Amino acid sequence: MLEKDCREATNPVCGASKVDKTLRDEVSVAHSCRTRSLAVLRSRDFYLFYILVSLFGMCTLIYYFGELIDFTGWEALHQGFFYGVHDIQRLFFLAPIIYASYIYRVKGAVIVTVAAFIAFLPRALTLSPFPDPVLRIVLFIVIEGSLGVLTGMVRNESERRSQLEALTRSERDRFLGMLERMEEGVIIAGPDYRIRFTNTSMVREFGEGIGSHCYQYLHNFDSPCDQICQLPKVIDGATERWEYSFLDGRTYEIIASPFVDSDGVVCQLATFRNITQRKQVELELIELNKLKSELLSNVSHELRSPLTSIKGIISGFLQKDIEWDDETREMLLTGISEETDRLASLVTNLLNMSKLEAGVWKPAKERCHVSDTINDTLEQQKWLHQKHTFETDLEPDLPEIYADYNQIKQVLINLLENAVAYSEEGTRIVVRARAVDGEVEVSLSDQGVGIPPEDRERIFDKFYRGNQTRQRPGGTGLGLAICQALVLAHGGRIWAESEVGHGSTFYFRLPAAQPSN
């Protein structure tokens, strides 16, 4: 290290650069000092202080002006005011004291008052011609100082208040900002029912409303509605929660609580959560539960009645003392067969529905002809329902469909069973198929009781059953729901047309198979 310093000292080039560096440092330090000093001199604080010092200086100058005139001999300026009215001159000091209290509050007032006292002293002690000069200046100082301190305190208080107001305002803005971002609608209404705030969600749901009355904004009423309005209770400090359905069908969950606005007025802050969908789902669930319990009693009845018939017939056969002729025996056996079919159909529908709901009954699609499926199904159904006439009208050269043969067969079976169940014996059931707009349309027409218009929308709902009388016992309200689920799973659609008393036609369309299938 020592060696390095020596080398640098003996090296003229190195020494010069070191001197340069030191010089540069000094210049930059001087520069930064100057900049800082200028900044201080130009600062607002310095100006305020400068004004205070000037005021104080001027007052002191006026106070001692008489002595200055005597000292300098400016006879022209020799005026009684500068010699006699010291009390008024002392009053001038109120200006710097009040000014200091305004700028620097109580502390400033005290310091300037002490300074004024010191300024008063020489004249009072040495020059004053009046009696008790110290007592007089103390009196002045106490009055002026008290006025200064009072001004400082008032100024402190007003500043504290304005700071508090600013804080409250900024807190309100922050709070309203939070409310603004809320997903629920938010509305703040004053005790006069006037709306002070609505957030974006509220505006989206009900439109702009600030300034209008809440009863007008929300309900289009001319005056507050006592039955709905909770505002008076909320203003009194209660938190209220209720649900309200508007005339247009929207339902809201409303929670209202008191809110003190920045002006100190107690208002009502209410949040509006749109629960229309939830309510609908709840209603649907209630309806579904009702239907399910109806189904349970229905299903148990449907299961029991064929079983009772079968059991009755078998018990009859088991009685050894009864001789059955061939005709009666055949009739009874046909009865067992029909009741067994009823049971099988019921159980199949229940199983199919639960498989569909569990998502395990996926269509195993392959290219097939819908005419084959129709013919196979009819072959089987004709045999089961011999008292109805079945006809087909199938367009030749129908395009192939890409479908699950068994599932489409199930759709046809359900529709055919309904056609049989809701039409009298001896009537005609016609199955048609045609190609329309790249789809294959299948229709089943019966000459039965028909479906009332109010039922047509709902017959495809699960467990929904109309009031029409079935010609045959049975029915669970699942047949058409299964048909719809299966047709939808094939990318098709299903619907019904009907005339009460003249029969019904059920249609379903399936997309024709594509070359890629």
d(CA 136, CA 428): 130
Determine the size of the site formed for ligand ADP (CB under 6 A). Answer: 22
Q: Does 466 bind ligand ADP (CB under 6 A)?
A: yes
Find the shortest distance in angstroms from Cβ 348 to ligand ADP. 12
CB 390 within 8 A of CB 381: yes
The one among 342, 385, 465, 490 contacting ligand ADP by CB under 6 A: 465
Q: Does 478 bind ligand ADP (CB under 6 A)?
A: yes
Find the shortest distance in angstroms from Cβ 349 to ligand ADP. 8
Question: Pattern 498-517, binding to ligand ADP, x per CB under 6 A?
Answer: ------x-------------
Question: Pattern 84-123, binding to ligand ADP, x per CB under 6 A?
Answer: ----------------------------------------
Q: Does 235 bind ligand ADP (CB under 6 A)?
A: no
Find the shortest distance in angstroms from Cβ 383 to ligand ADP. 20
CB 421 within 8 A of CB 412: no
Q: Does 346 bind ligand ADP (CB under 6 A)?
A: no
Q: Does 468 bind ligand ADP (CB under 6 A)?
A: yes
CB 247 within 8 A of CB 237: no
Question: Pattern 387-426, binding to ligand ADP, x per CB under 6 A?
Answer: -------------------------------xx--x----
The one among 96, 133, 477, 492 contacting ligand ADP by CB under 6 A: 477
Q: Burial-class residue 126 by CB neighbours within 10 Å (0-12, 13-18, 19+).
A: exposed
CB 511 within 8 A of CB 401: yes
Q: Does 298 bind ligand ADP (CB under 6 A)?
A: no
Q: How many CB atoms lie within 10 A of CB 23?
A: 10
The residue range among 175-183, 358-366, 377-385, 442-450 that interacts with ligand ADP, by the rule CB under 6 A, is: 442-450
Q: Does 459 bind ligand ADP (CB under 6 A)?
A: yes
Find the shortest distance in angstroms from Cβ 465 to ligand ADP. 4
Find the shortest distance in angstroms from Cβ 298 to ligand ADP. 9
Select from 345, 328, 428, 413 the least CA-distant residue to 379.
Answer: 413
Closer to ligand ADP by Cβ: residue 368 or 384: 384
Closer to ligand ADP by Cβ: residue 168 or 468: 468
Residue type, 241: R
Which H, E and C letters describe 217-229, residue by residue?
HHHCCCCCCCCCC
3 state DSSP class of 451: coil
Closer to ligand ADP by Cβ: residue 195 or 420: 420
d(CA 53, CA 57): 6
The one among 179, 475, 487, 494 contacting ligand ADP by CB under 6 A: 475
What torsion do the CA atoms of 324, 326, 331, 332 make, to the nearest 10 degrees?
A: 40
The residue range among 72-80, 252-260, 312-320, 464-472 that interacts with ligand ADP, by the rule CB under 6 A, is: 464-472
The one among 416, 480, 485, 513 contacting ligand ADP by CB under 6 A: 480
The residue range among 16-24, 131-139, 281-289, 478-486 that interacts with ligand ADP, by the rule CB under 6 A, is: 478-486
Closer to ligand ADP by Cβ: residue 137 or 480: 480
d(CA 275, CA 241): 14
Find the shortest distance in angstroms from Cβ 502 to ligand ADP. 11
Q: Burial-class residue 388 by CB neighbours within 10 Å (0-12, 13-18, 19+).
A: buried
d(CA 140, CA 94): 10
Place of tokens 């001197």: 19
Find the shortest distance in angstroms from Cβ 421 to ligand ADP. 6
3 state DSSP class of 458: coil
Measured at the CA of 425, the angle between CA 423 and CA 428, to 5 degrees, comes to 70
Q: Does 476 bind ligand ADP (CB under 6 A)?
A: yes
91: left (phi over 0), alpha (psi -120 to 50) or beta: alpha
Closer to ligand ADP by Cβ: residue 225 or 351: 351
Question: Please, how many CA atoms are within 13 Å of residue 273, restricted to the half-sphere of its CB?
Answer: 10
Angle, to 10 degrees, between the axis of helix 479-489 and the axis of helix 405-421?
Answer: 150
CB 151 within 8 A of CB 101: yes
Per CB under 6 A, residues contacting ligand ADP are 418-419, 422, 446, 448-451, 455, 459, 464-466, 468, 475-481, 504
